[in-house]
Amino acid sequence: MKPSPHIDFDRNAREALGNEFLQRALRSAMVRFRELQAPVIAEIPEWQALRAYAHEVKLHTLGRLDRYLQQLEQEVSARGGRVHWARDGGEAATIIARLARGRYVVKSKSMTSEEIHLNEALERAGCEVTEGDLGEYLIQLAGEAPSHIIAPVVHRSKESIAELLSAAAGTPLPAEPEVLTAAARRLLRQRFLRADVGITGVNFAVAETGTIVVVENEGNIRLTTSLPRIHIALMGIEKVIPRVADLAVFLTLLPRAATGQRMSSYVSFITGPRRPGEADGPEEFHLVIMDNGRARIQADAEMRESLACIRCGACLDVCPVFERTGGHAYESEYSGPIGAVITPLYRGLRAAGDLPFASSLCGACGEVCPVKIDLPRLLLELRARVVRERGASWSERIFVRAWTWVMTRPARLGFAARAARMLQRLVRRRLLPLPYPFSRWTVSRDLPVPPARAFRDGWSK
Ligand code: SF4
């Protein structure tokens, strides 16, 4: 397998910081998401208990994936569906391209399909592919990658969206959201009516009934799964859950944490293809279950819980790093704190070892995660692995040794704190702005005046 190219997060972040439009767009979108999420979460008094329950269910399932996946296969097959197993992204794309070869395809938003670059494989197989989700359709027209798990086009202005849709519609359109969405609706509706194959992702796959559950707000998944003759659903092995009863918890957590809704507008439960006497639904239903590195993560006791992610995007919305860099800086379909954890696990530390350091470790991601993934712990664990693999620079080694020497003796700490306060006063008076490399710290941070009396002094006898 070809090694993944190195992700230069530092360079990408610098570029993003220089883009004023992006800075404004990200800030307002993230603030808006948080404003929507907070009240609907606050109205559920048992929110913390639900998070803990979802965490338990996910970890229980991840510990018995073989059993639940086999059960899922049996139940899907018993209801007339066909299950395909894929070891990696290449195999999954080949299976889907074979099923869809030469046909007209509509596809709903799916991070798993982004992960395996499915559209390219389908186009190579002679398919004409249209993304059915509005944001993904715009991304497809622009030839870009999504920049947020649930708001893929957050980095674009309405003027640039008007340009994209005007070109697709063959007529100039004003930069007015209502006009643009109506135009996109007209363009997409024709594609849905023509499609032979519909491809979706999977939010949850219920082992006990063989049902796949897909949530959305636009209705495009409903059309993708009911109009075309063939429906292909692609899932990672971690999407299985044991029972229908568990869905009540996940479907309470997901929309509130993702878009700040009490319920997603459309929740589709799909159990096999159309049965005799049913008015709509596909003639064929295929479920592609893909590993692509997940079994390796499942076997890694320290990192396993990262597979519990339900892709709500809430950790992105509260991350101060994501809010400034946006998703493209991560050069991965998975961005923000969860991306900084799973991209290195999928692509390796050599390629993506910078990402776990793209965090202030403020802990906000771990606090909002609806399935209680301890993201700060996972980031720290990966940082330790990166340092073990790459080694630390000489300056870091000297710094950490000196730090340890000071911090392990109260007398040394007291002396160092007094010296640091004196130095800080001197620096503030005479040396600001600091020269390189210290300017890397002060360029975006204050150097406050130290208090006359240190906090520690108030507690010493
Ligand atoms: S890690 Fe948690 S908060 Fe982040 S996308 Fe996944 S489920 Fe949502």
What are the 10-residue block averages of pLDDT along the chain, 461 residues in total?
86 95 95 97 98 98 98 98 98 98 96 96 97 95 91 92 96 96 95 97 98 96 96 98 97 98 96 92 97 98 98 97 97 97 97 96 98 98 95 89 94 90 81 76 77 77 58
Distances (CA, A) of 407 to 270, 380, 410, 411, 450: 58, 20, 7, 9, 20
Looking from the CA of residue 341, the nearest atom of ligand 1 is 1
Asked if 114 and 144 touch (Cβ cutoff 8 Å), the reply is no
Instruction: Decide the pairing of beta strands 197-200 and 104-107.
Output: parallel
Helices within 43-129 (DSSP H only): 47-62, 65-78, 89-100, 111-115, 118-124
Question: Distance from the CA of 453 to the center of ligand 1, in angstroms?
Answer: 42
Burial of 119 (0-12, 13-18, 19+ CB in 10 A): buried
* CB atoms closer than 10 angstroms to residue 145: 16
The CATH number that domain 65-295 falls under is 3.40.50.10420
| Nearest alpha-carbon partner for 290 in 96, 101, 71, 426 | 96
Residue environment code for 231-246, b if the CB has 16+ CB neighbours within 10 A, otherwise e: bbbbbbbbbbbbeeeb
Q: What is the pLDDT of residue 447?
A: 76
Question: Distance from the CA of 131 to the center of ligand 1, in angstroms?
Answer: 24
Looking from the CA of residue 336, the nearest atom of ligand 1 is 4
Question: For atom 3 of ligand 1, which residue has the closest CA?
Answer: 369
Q: What is the pLDDT of residue 41?
A: 98
Residue environment code for 13-27, b if the CB has 16+ CB neighbours within 10 A, otherwise e: beebeeeeebbebbe
Mutation test of ligand 1: which of 112, 250, 315 has the most ligand atoms closer than 8 Å to its C-beta? Answer: 315
Mutation test of ligand 1: which of 111, 297, 312 has the most ligand atoms closer than 8 Å to its C-beta? Answer: 312
Bridge partners (DSSP) of residue 86 are 290
Asked if 129 and 122 touch (Cβ cutoff 8 Å), the reply is yes
Question: For atom 2 of ligand 1, which residue has the closest CA?
Answer: 369
Where do the CATH 3.40.50.10420 domains begin and end in the chain? 65-295
Pocket around ligand 1: residues whose beta carbon is below 6 Å from it? 309-315, 338, 368-371, 373
Question: Distance from the CA of 338 to the center of ligand 1, in angstroms?
Answer: 6
* pTM score: 0.90
Question: Distance from the CA of 370 to the center of ligand 1, in angstroms?
Answer: 7
Question: Distance from the CA of 191 to the center of ligand 1, in angstroms?
Answer: 32
